[in-house]
Structure 1
């Protein structure tokens, strides 16, 4: 029962994500950020993560795109946990999304930010139970909205 409820909620969030994405030009208060990551090991390919946030609606979503792939994989926001640091430094934050492929939840992405800096991204495939680590690739970052420079 819990799994069915989770699937239903993810589908609703996915539809909201599509609605927001296609209405971005008409609604300018949506913040979009792009992050480029390289794998810790040689596999899999490099990855681009784009996030979207609408503060007024209290909504956020994302997608990932692997290097040399034409397809994007939609992500549904699950949770964001902030750990306050000492001495007024920016908080550490861990954000989690689940990926939705053909209407099924097939894996999860977790991004860690250390202070004000992007740290790492981890992907876990639910079917194989394999995890893959990525590190932020500052050299691949491009101008806002243009994606990664590979």
Structure 2
């Protein structure tokens, strides 16, 4: 008979899970792109003021998209979990979360909810930091099982 897997240590609440390395890359690329495109707009001598402004506006638009892509996070506190995805934010009580799933090949964590739906939580995604995402998913699963109904208590 195999020994049960050790339970991950519960993080102190409140805790924020987010793809830190992905976020750093996105924000760095966004800033660098804005600076380079703006510098090009200012250095090109044949551009009119309107064309320069369009360069800067385009750089700002590209940067805004990358900032939006860096927004996802999952915040857990004593009362529940707040899932912030690209364009939405949802607050969940612990009792609403039945299971935290991160299966091989999943792009991010999925939360199985008590209303029968599943909510993607983009704040925990394997991407370029798989080991961190697995640790975060296990920690969130342990918190959900400790504070809520958990998958074994239903």
Normalising by structure 2, what TM-score? 0.29
Structure index of larger Rg: 2
- Higher share in strand: 1
Which has the higher relative contact order, 1 or 2, with Cα contacts under 8 A spaced 6 or more apart? 2
Normalised to the residue count of structure 1, the TM-score between the two structures is 0.30
Q: Which has the higher helix share?
A: 2
